[in-house]
Structure 1
Amino acid sequence: MNLKEQLQEIIDNSSKFNISPILIEKAVSPVFVKFAKPLHNVYYVWQTKGDGEEKEKFVITVLENRVNPKLTKKVIYAFPSMAIAGNFLEVDPHTVDIVEIPVTHLFFHTFGTPPEKLNSIIFVKKIGNNLKFHEVNCDEINKAVQEKIKKLKPLLETFDPNTRLV
C-alpha cells in the first residue's frame, strides 16, 4: 500500500476515532507524508499478545543514556522485515507478536501519545550488512499537526465536518 492509499484508509475510518475526515485530510495527512517520505511504506513492529481482556499494545523499549542512566527515552522499534525484527528481539517470543503495519498507520496509532509514555519511533534500515537507525520524534509530529490545525482553523470552522475537500 502506498502512502496515498494508507492515508485514504485512515480518512475512510476516521469516524471510528471520532476525528473529522477533513482534519485528517488537510492537517494530519500532509504531516505524515513529510515524515514518511524517507521511510519504507511498511514496517514490522513488536506487539504484546492480547489475552482477551487486555488489548494488544506496541512494545515500548526504554533506552538509557550511557553517560547519565537517569536520562531515558521511550521508543518503539520499527523494522524493514519480519526477519530483522525477529533477530533484534530481546524478549520472550511467546509474549510478543511481530506485526506488519503501514508507516502512516504507525504514526496515527502513536499520534497524541504524551512524551512521558512515548518519545520516538526508531526506524531500522538495512544497508548492505549494516543496520542504520532513523529516529522520528513523536512530539515533532504532534507539534507539526497542531501547527497545521492552527493555520486551517478558520477554514475548518466554515465547513460541515462530513464534507470532503479536494
Structure 2
Amino acid sequence: MTDLEAQIQLLIDNAPHDGKTPELVATIAPALRAIAQKLRHSQYYILQNLQERWILTTLSNKENPKLEKHVVYAFPRLQDISLSSSAGLNPQVAGKAIPVINILFQLVALEPVDSIVFFETPGRTSNPIEVQRTELKNLIQQCLQPQKPNQQVPPNLA
C-alpha cells in the first residue's frame, strides 16, 4: 500500500460512521489521489494559529488590486515556513505537518480559500504548484457523476 493509499484509508476510517460519509470519501478518493500524485511530498507544513485554523494569505493582482484571492501556503519542511513573510516571528503562528490527502480534503470545505500553494522544493519558494478549490471540486464532481447524477459535493464534507 502506497503512502497515498494509506492516507486515503485513514481518512475513510476516521470519517463519521453515519452510513454515508465513509462511502462518499471512498468515492471521491480518485480525485484526491489524482492531484496528490502531481505533488512531490506526502505531507506538508501548514501555518496555523493557536486555534489550529489555517493562516490565509490574501494576494492581489498587480494590474487590478481589487482582484484578490485567498491562499494557504503548504511547505515541504518545517524550516521552510520561515520563507513566508506571513509567518515571521509571530509566536501565535506555528507550522503543523498534515498529510497531503487531508490538505486536499479540507480544501473542499474551506469556503474563503481559493487555492493551496504547494512549495515543492525545500528551501525555495519558486515554481510552486497551485491547486485551486474549484479545480478540485470539479474533479470530485466527476467522481460523483456515475453514482448519482444530481448529487452535489456537500458543503460540510470536510
TM-score tier, shorter chain, comes to 0.7 to 0.9
Aligned length: 147
CA contact (8 A) 1:63 1:75 kept: yes
* Gapped regions of structure 2 (runs ≥ 5): 152-158
Tell me the distance in 1 between the aligned counterparts of 2:98 and 2:22: 21
Letter in 2 for 1:113: L
Q: CA RMSD in A?
A: 2.4
More helix by share: 1
Tell me the distance in 1 between the aligned counterparts of 2:76 and 2:10: 21
TM-score, with structure 1 as normaliser: 0.79
Q: 2:77 aligns with which of 81, 95, 118?
A: 81
Look up the match of 2:155: none
Tell me whether 1:59 sits opposite 2:55 in the alignment.
yes
Task: Give the ranges of 4+ consecutive aligned residues of structure 1 lying more than 3 Å apart after TM superposition.
Answer: 16-19, 127-130
Tell me whether 1:144 sits opposite 2:145 in the alignment.
no
TM-score, with structure 2 as normaliser: 0.83
Secondary structure in 1 matching 2:109: coil
1:138, distance to aligned residue in structure 2 (A) = 0.9
Look up the match of 1:38: 38
1:17, distance to aligned residue in structure 2 (A) = 8.4
Q: Once the two structures are aligned, what percentage of the paired residues are identical?
A: 30
* Gapped regions of structure 1 (runs ≥ 5): 51-55, 157-166
Structure 2 counterparts to residues 1-166 of structure 1, below 5 A:
2-15=3-16, 20-26=21-27, 28-39=28-39, 40-50=41-51, 56-91=52-87, 92-114=89-111, 117-126=112-121, 131-153=126-148
Tell me the distance in 2 between the aligned counterparts of 1:38 and 1:29: 15
Letter in 1 for 2:137: N
Secondary structure in 1 matching 2:147: helix
